[in-house]
Amino acid sequence: MAARFRIFRFDPVLDPKPYYRTYEVDAEPTDRLLDCLNRIRWEQDPTLSFRMSCGHGVCGSDGMRINGICGLPCQKLVKSYDEEILLEPLPVFQVIKDLIVDLEPFFERYRSVKPYLITASLPPDGERRQSPEEIHRLEDAVRCILCACCTSSCPVNQNAETEAYLGPAALVRAFRYLFDSRDAGMEERIRILDRKEGVWGCQTLWKCTEVCPKEIPVTKQIGQIKKNIYDAKKAGG
């Protein structure tokens, strides 16, 4: 079958402004959109740039907007689309070239939540004990692959006035450590999260949850952080 693509193009060195170009590729219905992108680049237009690495939704490299919705083209099959497929870079972040955006601000926010285990005591000789229920609480959050689809889809991050919001991905990583029974960094992290640019920036709009390629209940997890902070404050008077 023939698949038609309309792709956002921009080379800051050559192009005064972005434009769209249309391509047609011969594809199997079960081909990934990423396979089509590669075929376009290899056989039709070697100037097209996009990121990729694992090709099966584990590395998080190829986040982009597919018909307006942020997702991974390595997880989408041609047969799911009837008409022309529109591919654009992730919103929120600055375009470097074509479908590639500058993710440095994304990782900067990620780093700001102290994404590592903070402990109060020296580790034992063996493992720290953790019950299956305690680890089960983290299982959704640790599936995060940092593809940035959630943060790019968040209307709060998209709004220029509130773009300083940490965004869902950083909050999911904060959740992963806050609710880890081995972690003792609650107070330090709450100082970072208990701000209007922190967890209170979330307006519960569910866009992050809708697009997450790893099916993480992002909005619910942010809600649990909110509740945790609320409870901690109430308990502390």
Backbone angles phi, psi at 80, to 5 degrees: -80, -5
| 97: contact with another protein by CB under 8 A | yes
Size of the site for another protein (CB under 8 A): 59
Using CB under 8 A, pick the residue from 16, 68, 132, 236 that binds another protein.
Answer: 132
The pattern of x and - marking residues 101 through 120 that bind another protein according to CB under 8 A reads: --x-------x---xxx-x-
Using CB under 8 A, pick the residue from 131, 160, 161, 187 that binds another protein.
Answer: 131
| 168: contact with another protein by CB under 8 A | no
Using CB under 8 A, pick the residue from 177, 190, 211, 229 that binds another protein.
Answer: 177
Residue type for 50, please?
A: F
Q: Which is nearer to another protein, 128 or 233 (CB)?
A: 128
| 187: contact with another protein by CB under 8 A | no
d(CA 138, CA 134): 7
| 98: contact with another protein by CB under 8 A | yes
| Residues within the interface to another protein (CB under 8 A) | 11-14, 30, 32, 41-43, 46-47, 49, 51-61, 75, 77, 96-98, 100, 103, 111, 115-117, 119, 123, 125-132, 134-136, 138-139, 142-143, 145-146, 176-177, 180, 182-183, 215
